[in-house]
Amino acid sequence: MSEERDVMEFDLLVVGAGPAGLSCAIHAKQLNPELNVCVLEKGATVGSHILAGAVIEPGPLEELLPNWKDNAPEVCVPVSRDEIRMMSAQGSFKFPIVPPQMNNHGNYIVSLSSLTQKMAEAAEELGVEIYPGFPARMPLYNEAGEVIGVRTGDMGVDKDGNPKDGYTPGMDLHAKLTVFAEGARGSCSKQLVAKYGLDAQADPQTYGIGIKELWQLPPGRTEPGLVMHTMGWPLDNKTYGGSFVYHLEDDKLAIGFVVGLDYEDPHLEPFEKFQEFKNHPHIKPLLEGGEIVSYGARAIVEGGWQSLPKMEMPGAALIGCGAGTLNVPKIKGVHQAIRSGMEIAKQFHEKASAEGFDARVREGAIGAELKRVRNIRPSFHWGLWVGLMISGLETLFAGLLPYTLRNRADHSALKKVSTHKPLTPGNRDLPPRDRLSAVYFAATEHDEDQPVHLRVEDTNICVTRCAEEYDNPCTRFCPAKVYEMVEVDGAKQLQINAANCVHCKTCDIKDPYQIINWVTPEGGAGPNYQLM
Amino acid sequence: MKVLVPIKRAVDYNVRVRVKNDGSGVELNGVKMSVNPFDEIANEEALRLKEKGVVTEVVVATIGVAKAEDQLRSELARGADRAIHVVADQDIQPLQAARILKKLVEDEGIDLVLMGKQAIDDDANQTGQMLATLLGWPQATFASKVEIEGQTARVDREIDAGIETLEVDLPAVITADLRLNEPRFIKLPDIMKAKRKPLDKRELGDFDIDVPTLEVTETRPPSGREPGRMVKDVDELIATLKDKGLV
Ligand SMILES: Cc1cc2nc3c(=O)[nH]c(=O)nc-3n(C[C@H](O)[C@H](O)[C@H](O)COP(=O)(O)OP(=O)(O)OC[C@H]3O[C@@H](n4cnc5c(N)ncnc54)[C@H](O)[C@@H]3O)c2cc1C
Ligand code: SF4
């Protein structure tokens, strides 16, 4: 459809109202109230697509909004105690000491979706224009090949791509600088990395999938402020990952599980591992009799220093988890995302362009924090025990040992189905029963009459090579059961239940043939996370 | 012709509503709030009438908390001309809402009220009817089609037996059903423009809402379903059904 599109001009355009994007918008206005700043967000409201643990380091937030606690997020509990456990099938072993990167003294457990709502309020008070329900569909370029802005998605297109009654074409937003803050595996960011070769000097980016549930428990069971992490069971020693269990106020509990997407076994189902974990004798008594309030999943960026792409290009910059500034051993990305947002705002204020931003990040606090811990996550390629050993050494020497371990792309780690025995399902009887009943608690919504936003380039591969080589792992790694192999007239074919998608981006990352392309659906579609 | 479109800030229809642990109501903490969907439809209908030249001005009004301004702004962005916000922190029941709306109708010289048939939070389905009665105006509820010619409105309503068509003299109260129309998408520049459209704030104290009210004594979630049981084969299924006296 080629029609005249409305154009709007801004000084600064931010894609994504996560902690990174909002910090950028807020700080830009703090530095220069005259600026015309616009933030686009694909979720129906700010925070509706945001999911994290989340234990945050408050330093950078305090610097950005010194009074943030006056308008505190709905969940905001100071950490009272840390616990780390190594799990086995029946028991668990509590680490006598908490390694420094896992020590959360002085940190807060918050709902990140709620925190971003509060940050959005602060931004609007400063005069930032925030538009939830308007995804950036694609970057726009000028003839010189510079980024000049983005085009928002069309509304009211039917599933075959034809305009419906209320058809409303997306519009073009132009800006002096466009900042992409889309979080892990951003759909515009992916195009930009490819177009400008931003990853030429970096290792491939790597990810994990995090699945989370919020529970309401019977009174008196929680210890508000307790932060527990586990390693080991139900994952084998070759698979990176573990759980987080955060005790909130009002008898609420945030519980989640992260699996490194460099896992090898094509049979693995991250959702099932999480459910097995919940049924461990140490965890089950906590949950039994409670009820699940919210469910969701999101990719988490794990590549760290080695995988950090170049964060600038003509006319634009990448910030936060869209670039990959998260500190993996700490499993914390919020403070780094906020820093990167403030940094690009300073850069724009001083230089009016992105040129020099990349060096600024690497040489500043963000780079220093990433560099120090760069070898910890990749050391787990050799399994849990070697990983723990190297992590200990690296921590002892504060990252000063003169080597850097390499990262490889997650999709390339998957082994053929013939090399692995099928997994036996674990015992579990706590809800949710399966992925479909879980997804109900993500309150996700997509108009069914719109083009499928999970673009599979070649669905023949699904029934031929993929079925044989990997037994269609998409039917297992997706936490919302979007992909199913169904039989139609005696022949197998791929069915995509796009309406269930929770926008975690796992399929885009882990598909072994890299033929799944996640694109933005109609504005406002997707999960409606509450307190996640 | 001046139209009043009353709207309500309600829990979004996608939200899985949960009853609070102490049974004092439903959990609203951190819950997504939106314009009641039937009210969006009512506003859309008013805007279409304006585009047809039948209506000259569309006024949206809400009675609710300070944050309800977000919902007014969103209906202004859809196209309404101006807004009235009666700021109220307390729970407002249908008869109280109808009394407030009656005064707004009189103060503003309104010729037609187009409103949702009910709000999806309390599903009361009373305010439109009460307002019509208080005003002494005719009412056409559950509208699935509205046509206006001169001083009459012809309204289709979907009833069990098919479609019923009513003719009412204006001024009147018309309440919108789901199939009346599909509200348009809100455009980005219109959100920006909506920020500058007039929005009057009125205080609750200006209205006489001293009427007997209902008291909610308890809120309970529906009792859960018994967990299912897997049976091996048809024989076991029949045996189980017989056992339970179901066949
Ligand atoms: C399970 C899990 C647990 C975590 N736990 C913690 C923790 O305990 N502590 C911590 O510090 N960090 C934690 N993190 C990491 C943290 O969530 C991220 O580091 C942080 O959210 C990154 O912020 P961001 O702004 O870069 O991206 P995001 O928070 O992902 O925000 C991106 C925003 O952009 C929007 N968006 C994306 N694409 C588009 C588009 N094309 N158009 C419009 N909008 C778009 C998204 O909807 C989203 O709102 C966790 C992550 C996960 C998945
Ligand atoms: S379809 Fe892809 S992005 Fe959507 S929930 Fe499944 S894995 Fe995540």
**Residue from A23, A79, A114, A182 to probe ligand 1 pocket by mutation (most atoms less than 8 Å from CB):** A182
CB atoms < 10 A from the CB of B87, how many? 15
A388 shares a domain with A312? no
* Average pLDDT of span A279-293: 95
A388 shares a domain with A327? no
Among A81-85, A528-532, B27-31, which stretch is predicted with the lowest mean pLDDT?
A: B27-31
Query: For position A315, which CATH number holds?
Result: 3.50.50.60
Number of helices and strands in chain A (H, E): 16, 24
3-state helix, strand, coil in chain A (%, to 5): 30, 25, 45
Count of domains for chain A: 2
- Mutation pick from B18, B26, B32, B196 vs chain A, by most beta carbons of A within 10 Å, is B32
**Cβ A377 vs Cβ A302: under 8 Å:** yes
What value, to the nearest 5°, has the Cα angle with vertex B5 and ends B1 and B7?
Answer: 175
Residue A397 belongs to what domain range?
A: 378-408
> Of B12, B31, B188, which has the smallest distance from its Cβ to A171's Cβ?
B188
Residue in chain B lying closest to A532 (CA)? B30
pTM, entire model = 0.94
- pLDDT value at residue B16: 83
Does the CB atom of residue A188 touch ligand 1 within 6 A? yes
- Pairs of CB atoms within 8 A across A/B: 56
Domain ranges of chain B: 2-243
In A32-146, alpha helices (H): 59-64, 112-125
Contacts of A314 (CB under 8 A, 6+ apart): A144, A145, A146, A147, A354
**Ligand 2 centroid vs A479 CA: distance in angstroms?**
7
Among B6-10, B13-17, B63-67, which stretch is predicted with the lowest mean pLDDT?
A: B13-17
**Residue from A45, A50, A301 to probe ligand 1 pocket by mutation (most atoms less than 8 Å from CB):** A50
* Average pLDDT of span B46-51: 98
- pLDDT, one tens digit per residue, over B194-212 is 999 999 999 999 999 999 9
Three-state DSSP class for residue B123:
coil
Pick the CATH number of B2-243 from 3.30.420.40, 3.40.50.2300, 3.30.300.30, 3.40.50.620: 3.40.50.620
A393 shares a domain with A338? no
- pLDDT, one tens digit per residue, over B114-156 is 999 999 999 999 999 999 999 999 999 999 999 999 999 999 9
Q: Does A246 have pLDDT greater than 70?
A: yes
Contacts of B32 in chain A (CB under 8 A): 44-45, 48, 528, 530
What value, to the nearest 5°, has the Cα angle with vertex A302 and ends A299 and A306?
Answer: 145
Asked if A452 is an interface residue toward chain B (Cβ–Cβ < 8 A), one would say: no
Distance from CA of A278 to the nearest CA of B (A): 20
Domain boundary among A347, A372, A397: A372
> Of A74, A131, A168, which has the smallest distance from its Cβ to B30's Cβ?
A74
In a domain, A318, yes or no: yes
Cβ pair A44:B192 closer than 8 A: no
In a domain, A185, yes or no: yes
- Mutation pick from A445, A530, A532 vs chain B, by most beta carbons of B within 10 Å, is A530
In a domain, A268, yes or no: no
What confidence tier does A55 reach under pLDDT thresholds 50, 70, 90? very high
